[in-house]
């Protein structure tokens, strides 16, 4: 004989077997309810129910016997008469092939969020040569890794549209959000869907954005934003609001600055609020057919500023040239590839970096010291093959900036451009370099600087552009670096500009070396001769005799400021064979460390 005891204080609801019935081990004997939840009490062994102590409606205490079970000698003996109720719904064993009603409802609702349910929208999008939001996300994330948040949201317009209309025509409230993997590491992804209410910012997709931004900040997850869309949406009537200026989304987005890498991707039109988010991103990747502006045609016209087509506002050629766009590509496939490439630099070292031919660096700088050359050749010759990602190529062309790897280690690299102003640093180039230093500093990337500059650009025209303030940004940014800084002087290292390119002074970098072609001075050699030896030159008549003296004095200055002479006075650390450049840089990268941030870090939007 065995007592059947209640595992908790409860009320008896229903006996599924009666006294005298035979039961198998595991059969449900009685249903009790506690805290509005039903509990099944099953037979611990095979046997015959002997006596029932409680009837439906009566209360039983924890551990109290509900009845007794007469055990059957053979544990697996089949019961002879079990009431049909013990096999009935809701306690029957479900058919594994049947679809439960709640799951069917879920599948039906989720189906409306998929592109396959909107063939007309897909066809129209593809006819424009553009992809759907989910197509971009699928391409961005590692296969099968994307988990969507907020898929069942619809526009907050139930007072003016039916539930079926909202489900069919405003899926995800026009924004797909979630977490995926890129190169095996988790990333928050948010993509405005331009086929849903023109990619406008509805109240629910603001809520979704807030949710994802909070997750990104709390868990230090990078963010990728596909920002195509038209800004705020006035038609969401379910939410009581007047202007909606109490939204927390823009502040939350800006709060990510300097904390996690944030990538903005644009194809098509990006206006107003969408553009404001884009402007907060660390890097902007855009297609050639994109248009980016703080106000679209309707806003421009509403402000009495004229009537324009969308294509006339912030075209890519303008936004690339003025520095808004960091990476300009042909299409969305290239944009997604660039985003994956960019984020890879913030995911640690790799072990498969391939070195370019070292000897090729010996031929980068021409033997003729006045001959222009392309310093990007040096960048390519130092970086691991295929790793170089040039940034902001249309703006501040006096300095090249790029992310790359050296023996698998991610670094930032900047280089003067002798093809522009002879390598002199103007306001735009200084802004570009200073912000690039901030970017590397915030995310812990060492910086490699390739120097070939006659100094800061001077003259009345330059000073009209606030040159004094702009170029000084390089000194300020360098003074606050927490990452290793390594310099290689390729040719010219003159004046304050060379000091700015070497983190503020020649002994500020972890290592500062020069190629044999290096030449140095407090200012350009030609200018130094003309200023320093003006009396001697003016004492001779104009013509060949004066030119001969000038050439002689220039040669003396060049010899005095040669890389070899600089090394003897310890103003630089070494003169190296260009073929050994990677060896020096690798040693420096192995020796240097990234210091903990002393406080909040930020990256200028500009």
Q: Where are the domains of the chain?
A: 2-87, 110-344, 358-518+562-591, 524-561
Residue 87 DSSP code: G
Asked whether the predicted pLDDT for residue 25 surpasses 80, the reply is: yes
Confidence bin at 92 (pLDDT 50/70/90): low
- Backbone φ and ψ of 510, nearest 5°: -60, -40
Do domains 2-87 and 358-518+562-591 share one topology? The answer is no
What pLDDT score was predicted for residue 104?
Answer: 86
Retrieve residue 586's tokens: 């690798």
pTM of this structure: 0.87
Query: What are φ and ψ of residue 236, in 5° steps?
Result: -80, 95
Look at residue 94 in the predicted model and tell me its pLDDT: 65
Over residues 153-163, mean pLDDT: 87
Q: Is the pLDDT of residue 349 over 60?
A: yes
C-alpha 547 chain-centroid distance: 57
Q: Which one has a higher pLDDT value, 122 or 302? A: 122
Q: Express as a percent the part of the chain with pLDDT over 70.
A: 96
Cα distances from 397 to residues 305, 317, 400, 524, in angstroms, run: 32, 15, 6, 21
Say what percent of the chain tops pLDDT 90.
Answer: 73
DSSP symbol at 463? H
Rounded distance between C-alpha atoms, residue 32 and residue 443, angstroms: 59
Alpha helices in 324-374 (DSSP H): 332-344
- What residue ranges in 499-539 does DSSP mark as E strands? 511-514, 519-521
Strands 389-391, 399-406: pairing kind: antiparallel
The topology under which CATH files domain 2-87 is: OB fold (Dihydrolipoamide Acetyltransferase, E2P) (2.40.50)
Residues 6+ apart with CB under 8 A from 77: 22, 24, 46
What does the pLDDT look like over 546-580, one tens digit per residue? 888 888 888 887 878 899 999 999 999 999 999 99
Residue that wins the pLDDT comparison between 438 and 26? 438
CATH number of 358-518+562-591: 3.90.226.10
Q: Does residue 122 contact residue 115 with C-beta atoms inside 8 Å?
A: yes
Distances (CA, A) of 378 to 230, 364, 400, 454: 42, 6, 11, 18
Residues 225 and 277: beta-carbon distance below 8 Å: yes
Does the domain formed by 110-344 have CATH 3.30.460.10? no
How does residue 80 score in pLDDT terms, banded at 50, 70 and 90?
very low
Contact 166, 144 (CB under 8 A): no
Please give the structure tokens belonging to residue 147.
């988990």
Average pLDDT value over all residues in the chain:
91
pLDDT for the residue numbered 74: 53
């Amino acid at each position: 004989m065995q007592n059947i005891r209640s595992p908790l204080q409860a009320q008896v609801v229903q006996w599924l077997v009666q006294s005298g019935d035979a039961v198998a081990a595991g059969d449900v004997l009685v249903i009790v309810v506690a805290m509005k939840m039903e509990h099944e009490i099953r037979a611990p062994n095979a046997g015959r129910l002997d006596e029932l102590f409680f009837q439906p409606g009566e209360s039983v205490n924890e551990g109290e016997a509900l009845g007794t079970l007469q055990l059957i000698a053979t544990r697996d003996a089949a019961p002879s008469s079990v009431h049909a109720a013990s096999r009935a719904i809701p306690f029957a064993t479900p058919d594994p092939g049947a679809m439960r009603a709640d799951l069917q409802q879920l599948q039906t609702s989720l189906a409306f969020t998929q592109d396959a349910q909107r063939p007309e929208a897909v066809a129209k999008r593809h006819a424009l040569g553009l992809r759907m939001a989910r197509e971009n996300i699928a391409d961005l994330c590692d296969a099968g890794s994307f988990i969507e948040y907020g898929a069942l949201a619809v526009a907050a317009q139930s007072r003016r549209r039916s539930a079926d209309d909202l489900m069919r025509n405003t899926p995800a409230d026009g924004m797909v959000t979630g977490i995926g993997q890129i190169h095996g590491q988790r990333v928050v992804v948010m993509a405005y869907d331009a086929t849903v209410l023109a990619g406008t910012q509805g109240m629910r997709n603001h809520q979704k954005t807030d949710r994802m931004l909070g997750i990104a900040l709390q868990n230090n997850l990078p963010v990728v934003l596909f920002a195509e869309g038209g800004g705020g949406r006035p038609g969401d009537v379910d939410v009581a609001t007047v202007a909606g200026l109490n939204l927390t989304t823009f502040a939350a987005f800006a709060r990510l600055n300097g904390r996690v890498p944030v990538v903005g991707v644009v194809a098509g039109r990006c206006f107003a609020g969408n553009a404001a988010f884009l402007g907060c991103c660390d890097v902007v990747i855009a297609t050639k057919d994109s248009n980016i502006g703080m106000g679209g045609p309707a806003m421009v016209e509403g402000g009495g500023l004229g009537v324009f087509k969308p294509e006339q506002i912030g075209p890519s050629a303008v936004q690339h040239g003025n520095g808004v766009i960091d990476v300009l590509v042909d299409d969305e496939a290239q944009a997604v590839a660039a985003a994956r490439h960019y984020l890879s630099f913030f995911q640690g070292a790799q072990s498969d970096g391939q070195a370019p031919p070292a000897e090729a660096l010996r031929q980068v700088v021409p033997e003729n010291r006045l001959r222009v050359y392309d310093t990007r050749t040096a960048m390519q010759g130092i970086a691991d093959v295929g790793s170089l990602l040039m940034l902001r190529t249309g703006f501040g062309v006096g300095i090249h900036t790029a992310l790359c790897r050296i023996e698998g280690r991610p670094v930032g690299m900047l280089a003067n451009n002798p093809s522009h102003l002879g390598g002199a640093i103007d306001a735009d180039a200084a802004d570009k370099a200073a912000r690039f230093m901030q970017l590397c500093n915030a995310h812990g990337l060492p910086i490699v600087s390739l120097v070939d500059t006659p100094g800061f650009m001077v003259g009345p025209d330059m000073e009209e552009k606030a040159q004094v303030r702009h170029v000084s940004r390089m000194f300020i940014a360098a003074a606050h670096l927490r990452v290793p800084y390594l310099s290689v002087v390729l040719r010219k290292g003159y004046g304050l500009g060379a000091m700015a390119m070497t983190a503020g002074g020649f002994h500020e970098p972890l290592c500062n070396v020069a190629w044999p072609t290096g030449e140095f001075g407090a200012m350009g050699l030609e200018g130094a001769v003309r200023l320093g030896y003006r009396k001697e030159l003016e004492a001779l008549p104009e013509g060949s005799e004066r030119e001969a003296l000038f050439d002689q004095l220039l040669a003396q200055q060049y010899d005095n400021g040669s890389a070899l002479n600089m090394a003897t006075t310890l103003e630089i650390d070494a003169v190296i064979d260009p073929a050994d450049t990677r060896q020096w840089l690798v040693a420096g990268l192995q020796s240097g460390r990234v210091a903990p941030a002393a406080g909040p870090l930020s990256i200028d939007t500009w």
